[in-house]
Structure 1
Amino acid sequence: MEKEELLAVLRLQATDKVGDIIAKKLIQTTGSAAQVFNENLKSLQKIDGIGLQLAKNLCDDTTKEKAIKEFEYIENTHTKYAYFLDKNYPQNLKNCVDAPIFLFYDGAINLENQKIISVVGTRNITNYGRDFCKELIKDLAIYNPVIVSGFAYGVDICAHKAAIENNLQTIACLAHGLDQIYPKTHKKYIKDVVKNGGFITEFWHDETPLRENFLKRNRVVAGISKATIIVESAEKGGSLVTADIANSYNRDVFALPGRATDVYSTGCNNLLKNHQAHVVTNAEDIINLLQWEHQKNAKPHQTALFVNLNNQEQKIYDYLLKNGKQLLDVIAFECEIPVYQLSSILLQMELKNVIKPLPGKMFEV
């Protein structure tokens, strides 16, 4: 993206009362984000849904100063990003009218895989919920799904950890900037999440985890996925908001039933009682409804949009892409890498979801 356009997108984000829906309308009407700020006050007012106050906000030069500061941070830190009109923007989110116009991300995220599910729930997870969450993701692992959650206490972090334990890609949707981490006790999981997927957020680098940000974040959790699974929830909670949003996007919602007397099953039971979710008691419920059975073990080559490979990894990837599955010793010989080094490199590439191991010490893209 050219500097002028990137600055304009950031400026739209910084403009008071200009949300993602209005921003998209402005971009589509004028032709680009940069052109929005080339329009005068009178012409902006003529755009459907833009009144005098919004037009004045768009002409406020202080937003340019804010955008420049964020732009400099992006440039200096080489922050990765995805614009809603670009190919690297998550396809599922593109279909959501209120999806963020701009996302920042870190890690080796590959959203070409369409078996993307969100697993969310209470921060006060019980043994019942924890055991179910871990077993569910373990049983789904053969289908190679991407596990999305919010990196919070309870169900969220349980889902991320279960994905990592089963060598699945996991994506943490944050309610703050990439320069922050919340909760701080989860800093110890950052490295593993980045290796097995990564972090994604719509918020600028120094944005703190404000209460309203979590509600905004929930639409990304719901929209980026094909289905949302509520493991446990009290009568009220953020995961129920995520379920409502997923339903509004016409995505499948699943809920784990529990005893009527269990506080953290009340929300799930209500979703089921009101026909707002499908019952999920095991992996088969998800597999059948999402029609994954015919895709079993299917892990086709896909363009790894967000994956960064070092020189040795790229050499191995190119060799396997050209020659198909190969023995470990053959790869070592052809790529001129000692076997003891190659094993470690292949493991890292496997965690990045760019290659997969086969029986007999063979590997393929």
Structure 2
Amino acid sequence: MPLNRFDLPREVLSLLADGAVIPAHPLALDANRRLDRRRQRALTRYYVDAGAGGLAVGVHTTQFAIREHGLYETVLASAMEDRLAWSDRPMVMIAGLCGSTAQAVGEARTAAALGYHAGLLSLAALAAAPEDELVAHCKAVSREIPIVGFYLQTAVGGPVLSSDFWRRFAQIPNALAIKVAPFNRYRTLDVVRGLVDAGAEERVFLYTGNDDHIVLDLALPFVAMRDGAPVTVRFRGGLLGHWSVWTAQAVAQLARIKAVLTQGGGSLPPELLALDARVTDCNSAFFDVANNFHGCIAGCHEVLRRQGLLEGIWCLDPAEGLGPGQAAQIDRVYRQHADLSDDAFVRENLQRWLS
């Protein structure tokens, strides 16, 4: 049965509007590259206890290859089952949707049937299509489930999308949010302008996916002009692969930013602004920027492996692994930014999550 944004629980809409930490859920595999159900469950429990406001499952960090391995529905169902069994607090559950219109519509139906609230719609498979076709694609999928737009960076296959595309996207009645992840300030501003041009800034929520500027996206106001007057827009939260690791600290960082904006009259202390560079430095290692993001999934796996949440860094594709020198970069950020980790939190709870 199709799901409309107005059918969503009020608590879920409030979470999205207020701003939440939404990690992109990784895939736990064993040494034979088969689903490790125990550790997959442990990851979900970790994100719930870390205070995440939602989970994004079946997205890039979960590995798009789950589809060709017949794991898409299994992985989505597992995350939903494990999250509900572990905690009854409200959380936003977002399913990754990709491929042709027929595939994305089918995945949207699967996600809605499993109880997911929205679908994060990747356009990478249609990257060469004209924007009219992309808008039609988004509208077709939105008839099945509320959609979260996804501006994916071109380095990993995303198309360049105009401000006008985002204006048209924001006008779709069942558009719920936009994950802005072009890793490019000009293109980030294109989304902001499109949202403001659509007059949708209070209805379609901006979530950062810019892992290279997480803190600044969350802390700074973005201004676009409409009818000769400035309109201020803010990112509500983030839906991030980077937040699949050190998640408890990410929750604390977002809470700190919100507190400063609410109680500090909008004045941002220098140390909070400086945190952006430190988080970005960590991301450079976890996402293997030096090797053009080759190890972006394996790098997150490596952090989770060091914490004991994963047994290894295996991906479905045997060719995916750490990039040259990436392990040394992760060693470096662990030394230099140890206070940004949540290793102690994981140590205290790991056996309970693995039980």
TM-score scaled by structure 2? 0.25
The structure, 1 or 2, with the larger RCO (C-alpha pairs under 8 Å, 6+ apart) is 2
